[in-house]
């Protein structure tokens, strides 16, 4: 499992093992995931990437010399994908939502995040694991999980569980939410708002909204407005004391001797990308290139994160976490639907 042993793939008396073999393997798996999505659009590249990474780890295909590269993919490439995600969000887009749309987004994120933490406590889920699940479901799936992990004491098992849950539920949403549109009385615009406010990953949001003509534009705008809340959430988590080596919130970093920066550098990069994309100065071709690069890097990062999904560990510890994930999914879907109906967003 990536990160399970510091020094894995390192020979006595030598420096760290090179990352390039693992990165080549991750690149190959990324190409397969993108190819599968091109042939079978219903199978998201992100989901396929996680599955391929998990399969490699659990079938004994992840050799020691591949682990350093997988670790680089799951950390550095994912940070780069988060930064590039900022180019997809232009602040003027938020004006199109109006007060009602913005209120739905803020309330949904706040209630889902807080409610999932409380549910995790009631279920006896490890606090930092519940934090990652809460972040993934309330903001933007695996990207948010990875961003918050950087300012907590979460380990690879915590991350793997959270990523697996948001990936599974987000994939199921592609099938479930369009089937519920009629019974819930949502026209295409309202459905787009609901999808954007409730589905985890940006790619999953697009795949879900595309199934209902007229919903996609609104779904993307609402979804990206949720993504904008990633930066303040990460900063808040860092300031609240969820630091490495603490085992939970409120301990102030005891035992570590240092305090991580309130806003990680990649989050600053994300905000800078949002600002740059909002100026209107960047040509469409540059924005399209950034979007493509972000999608590829995210899939590669999810392949790396998938290698941290250790099925025996999930069987031992994942039962209550699965209940937490289902509860978080029901919470984000229920609150956002109620908001769309009540506020007419």
- The answer to whether 153 touches 179, Cβ cutoff 8 Å, is no
Give me the residue label for tokens 């990523």: 163
Q: For position 55, what pLDDT does the model report?
A: 92
Question: In the structure, what pLDDT confidence band is assigned to residue 1 with cuts at 50, 70 and 90?
Answer: very low
- The answer to whether 85 touches 227, Cβ cutoff 8 Å, is yes
DSSP state of 76: I
Residues 6 or more apart whose CB falls under 8 angstroms from that of 7 comprise: none
What is the rounded CA–CA span in Å between residue 136 and residue 141?
4
What is the rounded CA–CA span in Å between residue 17 and residue 7?
9
Question: In the structure, what pLDDT confidence band is assigned to residue 90 with cuts at 50, 70 and 90?
Answer: confident
What is the rounded CA–CA span in Å between residue 187 and residue 146?
34
| Sign for the pseudo-dihedral over CA of 59, 63, 64, 67 | negative
pLDDT, greater one: 47 or 193:
193
What is the rounded CA–CA span in Å between residue 175 and residue 212?
12
Closest CA to 154 of 123, 132, 124: 132
Tens-digit pLDDT profile for residues 215-237: 887 888 888 888 888 888 988 88
Structure tokens, 240: 């609240």
pLDDT, greater one: 7 or 342:
342
Q: For position 257, what pLDDT does the model report?
A: 44
Average pLDDT on 31-37 reads 95
Taking the model in full, what pTM does it have? 0.74
DSSP track, 177-246: HHHHHHHHT--HHHHHHHHHHH-SSHHHHHHHHTTSTT-HHHHHHHHHHHHHTHHHHHHHHHHHT--TTT
Q: Decide if pLDDT at 9 tops 80.
A: no
Average pLDDT on 53-64 reads 90
What is the rounded CA–CA span in Å between residue 170 and residue 47?
9
Residues 6 or more apart whose CB falls under 8 angstroms from that of 25 comprise: 56, 66, 69, 70
Tens-digit pLDDT profile for residues 107-159: 999 999 999 999 999 999 999 999 999 999 999 888 888 888 878 888 878 88
């Amino acid at each position: 499992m990536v990160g399970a042993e510091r020094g894995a793939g390192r020979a006595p008396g030598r420096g760290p093992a090179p990352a390039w073999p693992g990165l080549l393997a991750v690149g190959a798996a990324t190409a397969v995931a993108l190819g599968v999505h091109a042939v079978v659009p219903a199978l998201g590249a992100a989901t396929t990437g996680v599955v391929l990474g998990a399969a490699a780890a659990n079938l004994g295909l992840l050799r020691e010399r591949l682990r350093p590269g997988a670790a680089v993919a799951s950390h550095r490439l994912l940070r780069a994908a988060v930064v590039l995600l900022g180019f997809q969000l232009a602040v003027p887009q938020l004006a199109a939502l109006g007060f009602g749309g913005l209120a739905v987004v803020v309330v949904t994120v706040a209630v889902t995040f807080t409610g999932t933490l409380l549910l995790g406590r009631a279920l006896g889920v490890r606090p930092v694991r519940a934090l990652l699940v809460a972040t993934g479901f309330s903001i933007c799936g695996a990207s948010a999980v990875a961003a918050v992990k950087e300012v907590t004491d979460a380990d690879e098992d915590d991350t793997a569980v959270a990523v697996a849950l948001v990936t599974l539920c987000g994939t199921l949403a592609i099938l479930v939410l369009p089937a519920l549109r009629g019974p819930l009385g949502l026209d295409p615009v309202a459905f787009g708002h609901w999808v954007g406010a409730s589905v985890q990953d940006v790619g999953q949001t697009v795949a879900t909204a595309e199934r209902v003509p007229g919903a996609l534009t609104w779904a993307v705008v609402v979804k990206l407005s949720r993504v904008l809340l990633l930066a303040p959430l990460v900063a808040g988590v860092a300031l609240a004391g969820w630091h490495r080596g603490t085992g939970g919130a409120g301990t102030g970093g005891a035992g570590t001797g240092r305090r991580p920066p309130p806003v990680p550098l990649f989050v600053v990069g994300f905000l800078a990308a949002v600002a740059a994309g909002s100026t209107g100065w960047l040509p469409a071709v540059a924005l399209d290139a950034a979007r493509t690069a972000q999608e590829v890097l995210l899939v590669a990062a999810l392949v790396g994160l998938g290698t941290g999904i250790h099925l025996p560990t999930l069987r031992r510890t994942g039962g209550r976490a699965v209940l937490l994930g289902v509860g978080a999914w029901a919470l984000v879907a229920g609150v956002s639907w109620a908001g769309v109906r009540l506020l007419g967003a």
